[in-house]
Structure 1
Amino acid sequence: MTANEPPVCDFNWPAPDFRLPATDGRMYTRDDIAGPNGLLIMFICNHCPYVLAVLDRIVRDGKALQELGIGVAAICANDADAYPDDSFENMVKLAENAGLPFPYLHDEEQAVARAYHAACTPDFFGFDSKLGLQYRGRLDASRMSPAEPDAPRELFEAMKQVAETGEGPRDQIASVGCSIKWKPAA
């Protein structure tokens, strides 16, 4: 399995809008999710070992960022026909079992993943209150296994800085994970 790595942060790039169904039965837009101090959109999936290694940390940091006024959502865009573990039904199970405190959205057509230029799972997009990109880094030093428990919380600290100052850190380490499982071209 080869790891994919997204490009570095394109500061102030505008967050694309979307309207997607969530595992809680509701439809969400970008503006429904955005908080007064920013927005975190993360591309994850149900089967990726990089995501599963840090799912508890994603939940922890998602909750903490929501408390700072940052809206949070996760999106699964993988081709569920080729990867049945990433079906909407399995997304519902993962959201319930992991206790996701934020919407878990299904991008079946993959249009949102393409609009965001998502490269891997997990891939994190942290926006300021004006929805300009300020963070495109990793969660922490974890890879296919979790980093040490006391590893710096890079995503959390970066988004805390965004909430407080409107600007993300200039030094960011890209996330690493499995490639998005794109559907075959029609």
Structure 2
Amino acid sequence: MVKPLVLLPPVAFAALAGLFLWGMNRTDPTALPSALIGKAAPPVETVALGEAQMFTDADLRDGKIKLVNFWASWCAPCRVEHPTLKAMAEDGVEIYGVNWKDKPAQALSFLAELGDPFTKIGADPKNTMGLDWGVAGVPETFVIDGEGTVLLRYAGPITQKVLDEQISPLLAGENE
């Protein structure tokens, strides 16, 4: 006769493994919660990046929906998303860039090589703005409505799927 206590470890292990599996499949792993959704965007605190025109808090509250994109020259996923940003800019989407924890010469070289999709840009070399916005890494993109309210935070490179499913519906809201 098998003693009931002998079955306890394998049953406990199976239950724990099932719980982990359920938890991993429950949500989108790229979706990071943000306390900013539905609230006013934190202040814009950047320094100049080369001769590029810097953006301000007023730019975030100009009545038009826009994106704020945190990026860096050393970031491989930023390079992957760059063609999507350029295509969006060519379609008239205003994208405000924040060069995050980067060296100015390398950031400017990145833009010279790949093109500059940003309406205005600033640098955040000491992560001052990034901390206020809750940036965990780059790329991270925020969709901001015309009053400066955060509508979406997306961590990771913007792909065509992300654009179609998450960002474009918010941008289309501007025309309604």
TM-score band (shorter)? Answer: 0.5 to 0.7
Which SS does the other structure have where 1:27 is aligned?
coil
How many angstroms apart in 1 are the aligned matches of 2:55 and 2:158?
Answer: 28
Q: Which residue of 1 aligns with 2:69?
A: 42
- The residue matched to 2:94 in structure 1 has which SS? strand
**Structure 1: unaligned runs, 5 residues or longer:** 79-85, 142-150, 167-186
Distance 2:147 2:82 in 1: 28
C-alpha RMSD over aligned residues: 2.6
CA deviation after TM superposition for structure 1 residue 118, in Å: 0.6
Q: 2:108 aligns with which of 86, 89, 92?
A: 92
The residue aligned with 1:24 is 51
Spell out, residue by residue over 1:118-141, the C-alpha distance to the aligned partner (whole angstroms, 9 max, x if none). Answer: 111111111111211111125545
Change (3 A) 1:77 1:6: farther
Which digits, 9 at most, give the CA deviation of each residue in 1:106-164, with x for residues without a partner?
A: 112311001100111111111111211111125545xxxxxxxxx52x23653432233
CA distance in 2, matches of 1:140, 1:127: 16
SS in 1 for 2:55: strand
Give the TM-score of the pair, scaled to structure 2: 0.67
Distance change >3 Å, CA 116–CA 98, structure 1 → 2: same
Are the aligned partners of 2:50 and 2:104 in contact in 1 as well (CA < 8 Å)?
Answer: yes
> TM-score under structure 1 normalisation?
0.64
Greater helix share, structure number: 2
Matching residue of 1:60: 87
Partners of 2:63 and 2:164 in 1: CA distance:
16
